[in-house]
Chains A and B, each alone.
Chain A
Amino acid sequence: MANNAKKYIITAVTLGVIAAASAGLIGLTNLFTAKQIALNEQKRIKAGIVEIFADDAEILEEKAVSDKELKYTNYEYTLNKGVAFRTTGSNMYGKISMLVGYGKGIIPGGSETSYKFAGIYLITNEQTYASTLVENYVTPLNNDDINYDDVKCGATYGATLIKEMIEETNKIMEGRKAE
């Protein structure tokens, strides 16, 4: 019996050590990689902003949005060319995370006084119909071929999600004036 108990203890200790070592290794890797992963995220946002605006677009200020009323919007970026929002949402076909950009619009008279919808950039598109969505909705939208509420495109659910996100950021931008 004593022999048996000893065996069990040895087994338990071995397993405990393996589990602890595994946890330690994973934690250690996380320490090393977390920073890099965040940096990659940053790079992707920068790429998106360049895509929406122009090569010389720059992020001046980053601000987390923590308004309970807002369902999708997470971050607001103040740019030299306008404003961009980071939104994340999901429907039953998957997650979409994207940037919505608003450029400074020049109205007749020469001064920059209002913001105008500039385009969107999908950071992650995990929809089932990802490519259909991009081909039939996102690209035409960015080329001003369709309006954002024109969601009938073969990937209606994804397009509706994007539309709702844009509507939310439109609401934030409503009444804002560029200085």
Chain B
Amino acid sequence: MNILISFLLAILSSMLIDNVVLSRFYGICPFLGVSRKVKSSLGMGVAVVFVIVLATVICWPLYNFVLVPAGIPFMDTVAYILVIASLVQLVGLFIKKYSPSLYKSLGIYLPLITTNCAVLGVAQGNTDQGLNFLSSLANGIGTSVGFLLIIVVFSCIRVRLESSNVPKAFKGLPIALIVAAIMAIAFMGLQGLFSGIQL
């Protein structure tokens, strides 16, 4: 029970308090690039959740049971990027071949994920910080769901921005970044959300 609670708390904390985009700065490129439409941001977000969770599940054992016993922990980055890239290609291949409907909604976002720093960032961060498997999984789930949440919310705001009267120089990306700053202020308010909880 205790484990379950701390697992859920860890998910919530890496989702809200330490949000990927707004406080850890992972995945800014798709955050700014694929957020003009709610539908496309949803597709990107779901694809990222899928790949991050899978990558976490593979990378943690790879590091702890293969690279560390072999005495080559410094190969981690190479191994992770290979895992992530092949994962993306395999998932893409599967979808392309067997599920045209899924391909229609997710297919174009999959190749983008290899260069999304959130995936490598989570895998690398998990082992750099020496988290255990459960915490890594919680971090992976929390981070990716946090990404999904933030990119969808952001795209909703951007849709409205398109039709609002913004100073000419701020049109497009600059105002989007200012909006992101305001969102970051809002998320700063969530800090210390769980600090009073004692397990």
Using a CB–CB cutoff of 8 Å, the interface residues on chain A facing chain B are: 22, 26, 30, 88, 90-95, 126, 128-129, 152, 154-156, 160
For the complex formed, measure the closest distance between the CB of B34 and the CB atoms of chain A, giving whole angstroms: 27
Whether A156 contacts B195 by the Cβ 8 Å rule is yes
Binds A, one of B93-101, B124-132, B145-153, B154-162: B124-132
* List of B residues within 8 angstroms of A92 by Cβ: 6, 9-10, 13, 131, 135, 138-139
**Interface residue SS majority, chain A:** mixed
Whether B129 contacts A156 by the Cβ 8 Å rule is no
5 A-B residue contacts at CB 8 Å?
A: A26-B78, A92-B9, A129-B195, A156-B198, A160-B198
Whether B74 contacts A30 by the Cβ 8 Å rule is yes
Interface size on B, residues (CB 8 A): 23
Whether B195 contacts A154 by the Cβ 8 Å rule is yes
Of the residues A22, A126, A129, A152, contact of B129 by C-beta under 8 Å: A126
Whether B130 contacts A154 by the Cβ 8 Å rule is no
CA distance A155 to B193 in the complex (A): 11
In the complex, which of the residues B18, B72, B129 has the most CB atoms of chain A within 10 Å of its own CB atom? B129
For the complex formed, measure the closest distance between the CB of B101 and the CB atoms of chain A, giving whole angstroms: 35
Q: A90-B131, A92-B13 are in contact. List 13 more A-B contacts (CB 8 A).
A: A26-B74, A26-B78, A30-B74, A90-B130, A92-B9, A92-B131, A93-B13, A94-B130, A128-B17, A128-B18, A129-B195, A152-B198, A156-B197
* List of A residues within 8 angstroms of B131 by Cβ: 90, 92, 94-95
* List of A residues within 8 angstroms of B174 by Cβ: none
Cβ of B189 within 8 Å of any chain A Cβ, yes or no, is no
In the complex, which of the residues B10, B131, B196 has the most CB atoms of chain A within 10 Å of its own CB atom? B131
CA distance A133 to B113 in the complex (A): 35
Whether B17 contacts A126 by the Cβ 8 Å rule is no
For the complex formed, measure the closest distance between the CB of A81 and the CB atoms of chain B, giving whole angstroms: 30
For the complex formed, measure the closest distance between the CB of A36 and the CB atoms of chain B, giving whole angstroms: 13
* List of A residues within 8 angstroms of B13 by Cβ: 92-93, 128
For the complex formed, measure the closest distance between the CB of B12 and the CB atoms of chain A, giving whole angstroms: 11
Whether A95 contacts B129 by the Cβ 8 Å rule is yes
For the complex formed, measure the closest distance between the CB of B103 and the CB atoms of chain A, giving whole angstroms: 28
Interface residues of B in 108-142 (CB under 8 A from A): 128-132, 135, 138-139
Of the residues B78, B128, B132, B198, contact of A126 by C-beta under 8 Å: B128
* List of A residues within 8 angstroms of B195 by Cβ: 129, 154-156
For the complex formed, measure the closest distance between the CB of A21 and the CB atoms of chain B, giving whole angstroms: 13
* List of B residues within 8 angstroms of A154 by Cβ: 192, 195
Residue of B nearest to A37 (CB): B74
Whether A94 contacts B192 by the Cβ 8 Å rule is no
Whether B130 contacts A156 by the Cβ 8 Å rule is no
CA distance A129 to B9 in the complex (A): 15
Name the 10 nearest CB pairs between A and B, nearest first.
Answer: A95-B130, A92-B10, A92-B135, A94-B129, A90-B130, A95-B129, A126-B129, A154-B195, A128-B18, A156-B195
* List of A residues within 8 angstroms of B6 by Cβ: 92
Of the residues B17, B132, B196, contact of A90 by C-beta under 8 Å: B132
Cβ of B185 within 8 Å of any chain A Cβ, yes or no, is no
* List of B residues within 8 angstroms of A160 by Cβ: 198
Cβ of B75 within 8 Å of any chain A Cβ, yes or no, is yes
* List of B residues within 8 angstroms of A155 by Cβ: 195
CA distance A155 to B17 in the complex (A): 13
* List of A residues within 8 angstroms of B78 by Cβ: 22, 26
* List of B residues within 8 angstroms of A90 by Cβ: 129-132, 135
CA distance A92 to B12 in the complex (A): 12
